[in-house]
Amino acid sequence: MRGSARDSACVRARRSSPRISPKLDSQVSTRKKTFPEVQAERLEQAQRTVLINCPAKINEKKILKYLSRHGKINHHYFYETFGTYAVVEFSEKDSIASLQDVTQTSGTKEECPVPFKSRLFTLTLKNPSTQDADQAPVHCHKQSTILLNDLVRKLCSSDSVSNQLYTLMNEYQLTEENTRLRFLVCSLIQDIARAYFPECTVKPFGSSVNSFGKLGCDLDMFLDLDEIGRSSTRSKTGPFNIEYQMKRVPSERIASQRILSVIGDCIDNFGPGSVGVQKILNARCPLVRFSHQPTGLQCDLTANNRIAMKTSELLYIYGSLDSRVRALVFCVRCWARVHGITSSIPGAWITNFSLTMMTLFFLQKRKPPIIPTLDQLKDLADAEDEHIIQGSDCTFVSNLNKIKLTENTETLDVLLSDFFEYFGNFAFNKNSLNIRKGKEQNKPEPCPLYIENPFEQAHNISRNVNQGQLNRFVALARESAWILQQEDKGHFSLSNGQPWGLAALLLPSVTSNSVKGKTQKRASASERIKSLMASLQGNKENNLVNNGGKRTFSNQA
């Protein structure tokens, strides 16, 4: 999107020209692509891509020459997980069939291969001893975030809080290569599902595509069977109607459960690299969870989940409108994770999704607003943007060019500080947050935190949050607002390499630890601060001084 870091990553990654017709391409180039267009382009690209496990030391030129016997290679890169992998995008899909034709199946006396031919290969050297001198370690693209201490160190060398937020976002956001990998996994799962449903598609949703994804986040996938129903246009001529005989079940949910159960078994039994397959079919949204070992991605496959897909598109639009949106969301999510406000384990915590909604709501409330309300986006919609899904109105404009950009010029320093101030004092006891209207409203039911689902308004996306967790969030927000205000007043010295601004907010909190009351956590937190201070101050001996609940540092022995 406009000026985003991801765009420059695209350029760095020598992106191939998209495989859409030249006419369509020229029409599209005059405007920003819509979310469905970006998705379709990436999915098509993923279908022309293979994943190859190869030796860590390899002659890159030779491997490319060897593979180009099957067709032109548009793009390739290497990465490391459990082994070294090459991701190779061919220019034509036929090249994959050609490569598969010359690929062998191997087995041993003890192990028999399940002969499912996928796009996941292993490449080895025929004569490692004679070929060794020829090989060199390949450059591997990073697929995970830097360590927190390294991040804090980097933030300390920034020159403003605003730049700290952009630094954090640049370190944490999905790279072009990681995004490609996510689409590739969807496409590999799609190959399995297409054995039963040849017209289905498997698409990523959630943070993998909504522009708020952090390296290492899970991969949410949606098995879309909708095209199957749509392709049957009723014949208007002739004296007969003809329709498929199909099994009938009482609800869409049951149909999804049955389909996911079978696809889950196929992934488990045939899908190379997919391990730990769990079928969680009784959840509110039935899913198959597994780990895709070659990419290191934790995957959740759902079906019948089109509202979540529209939610991803909506968040993508918000994230594309103004660079401050993503920077603030990344910052809030990182801050919440560091302080244990969110967790990867399900529980009474505030989720990343809820935090994103809270941040968007806050940005709608600025004067002038930084992003429009959902109702305003609906007013800009065309006829083709109209979507009613399972009775919910999911209509909003898809063309980014139609959305007027904000006149608000506030800096991220101000926005971050005000975010904490705003939610540190929000009347959670009586008000709910509603991004459709961009207004707080009376809570329809008593629960600690009420954030209306933008499309299913009777649904509270933070129903899981208990009072204790909300109190921790509020206490931390107040403490963080206080820290930023002290710095503004110049009460903290920014010299001596002491963590400041966002870096100070990512240090363990005295307040949150006392809310948790866990002495062990406090001890490990102070260990972390000590090691960080040691590295920040050239390994001088450092002591943390707890000054009445405020975070101050001393480097006296």
Which residues would be at the binding site for Mg ion (CB under 5 A)?
206-207, 218, 220
Output the residue with the shortest Cβ distance to ligand GTP: 206
DSSP letter, residue 21: -
Asked if 2 and 320 count as a contact pair (C-beta separation under 8 A), the reply is yes
- What's the N-to-C CA distance of the chain in angstroms? 50
Binding-site partner at residue 453 among Mg ion, ligand GTP, none, CB < 5 to 8 Å by type: ligand GTP
356-360 contacts: CB < 8 A, separation 24 or more?
356/212, 356/315, 356/329, 357/433, 357/435, 357/451, 357/454, 357/461, 358/332, 358/423, 358/433, 358/451, 359/325, 359/328, 359/329, 359/332, 359/419, 360/315, 360/318, 360/325, 360/329, 360/435
Q: Which stretch binds ligand GTP (CB under 6 A): 88-96, 214-222, 242-250, 533-541?
A: 214-222
Burial of residue 470 (CB within 10 Å: 0-12, 13-18, 19+) is buried
Among 95, 164, 207, 509, interactor with ligand GTP by CB under 6 A: 207
Binding-site partner at residue 352 among Mg ion, ligand GTP, none, CB < 5 to 8 Å by type: ligand GTP
Binding-site partner at residue 542 among ligand GTP, Mg ion, none, CB < 5 to 8 Å by type: none
169 is an interface residue for ligand GTP by CB under 6 A? no
In DSSP terms, which residues pair with 80 in a beta bridge? 84
Question: Could you give the 3-state DSSP secondary structure of residue 446?
Answer: coil
| Residues of the chain by 3-state class (helix, strand, coil), percent to 5 | 45, 15, 40
CA distances from 67 to 27, 49, 52, 88, 102 (A): 34, 12, 11, 9, 11
In the complex, minimum distance from the CB of residue 346 to Mg ion, in angstroms, rounded to a whole number:
12
In the complex, minimum distance from the CB of residue 205 to Mg ion, in angstroms, rounded to a whole number:
8
Residue type for position 43:
L
Cβ closest to ligand GTP, residue 311 vs residue 359: 311
In the complex, minimum distance from the CB of residue 142 to ligand GTP, in angstroms, rounded to a whole number:
18
393 is an interface residue for ligand GTP by CB under 6 A? no
Size of the site for ligand GTP (CB under 6 A): 17
Alpha-carbon gap, residue 431 to 294, rounded angstroms: 46
Alpha-carbon gap, residue 263 to 196, rounded angstroms: 9
256 is an interface residue for ligand GTP by CB under 6 A? no
179 is an interface residue for ligand GTP by CB under 6 A? no
143 is an interface residue for ligand GTP by CB under 6 A? no
Q: Which stretch binds ligand GTP (CB under 6 A): 186-194, 203-211, 480-488, 509-517?
A: 203-211
Among 316, 353, 473, 553, interactor with ligand GTP by CB under 6 A: 353
String of contacts with ligand GTP for each residue 295-324, x by CB under 6 A: -------------x--xx------------
Binding-site partner at residue 164 among ligand GTP, Mg ion, none, CB < 5 to 8 Å by type: none
Binding-site partner at residue 312 among Mg ion, ligand GTP, none, CB < 5 to 8 Å by type: ligand GTP
Residue with tokens 């400041």: 500
CA distances from 78 to 62, 256, 482 (A): 14, 36, 45
Q: Which stretch binds ligand GTP (CB under 6 A): 23-31, 164-172, 211-219, 322-330?
A: 211-219
Strands 297-303 and 219-224: parallel
CA distances from 532 to 151, 159, 500, 535, 544 (A): 10, 19, 13, 5, 11
Cβ closest to Mg ion, residue 97 vs residue 283: 283
512 is an interface residue for ligand GTP by CB under 6 A? no
453 is an interface residue for ligand GTP by CB under 6 A? yes
DSSP letter, residue 69: G
Binding-site partner at residue 294 among ligand GTP, Mg ion, none, CB < 5 to 8 Å by type: none
In the complex, minimum distance from the CB of residue 206 to Mg ion, in angstroms, rounded to a whole number:
4
392 is an interface residue for ligand GTP by CB under 6 A? no
In the complex, minimum distance from the CB of residue 65 to ligand GTP, in angstroms, rounded to a whole number:
39
Among 89, 176, 220, 487, interactor with ligand GTP by CB under 6 A: 220
2: which residues sit within 8 A by CB, 6+ positions away?
Answer: 32, 320
461 is an interface residue for ligand GTP by CB under 6 A? yes
267 is an interface residue for ligand GTP by CB under 6 A? no
Cβ closest to ligand GTP, residue 204 vs residue 264: 204
CA distances from 206 to 3, 219, 333 (A): 22, 8, 14
Cβ closest to ligand GTP, residue 67 vs residue 221: 221
71 is an interface residue for ligand GTP by CB under 6 A? no
Determine how many CB atoms are found less than 10 A away from the CB of residue 153: 17
Among 162, 167, 352, 434, interactor with ligand GTP by CB under 6 A: 352
Alpha-carbon gap, residue 273 to 268, rounded angstroms: 9
Cβ closest to ligand GTP, residue 77 vs residue 335: 335
Cβ closest to ligand GTP, residue 469 vs residue 542: 469
Alpha-carbon gap, residue 497 to 176, rounded angstroms: 33
222 is an interface residue for ligand GTP by CB under 6 A? no
Alpha-carbon gap, residue 387 to 13, rounded angstroms: 35
> What are the tokens at 267?
């992934």
Determine how many CB atoms are found less than 10 A away from the CB of residue 524: 11
In the complex, minimum distance from the CB of residue 358 to Mg ion, in angstroms, rounded to a whole number:
17
Q: Which stretch binds ligand GTP (CB under 6 A): 103-111, 200-208, 406-414, 531-539?
A: 200-208
Enumerate binding residues for ligand GTP (CB under 6 A). Answer: 205-207, 210, 213, 217-218, 220, 308, 311-312, 351-353, 453, 459, 461
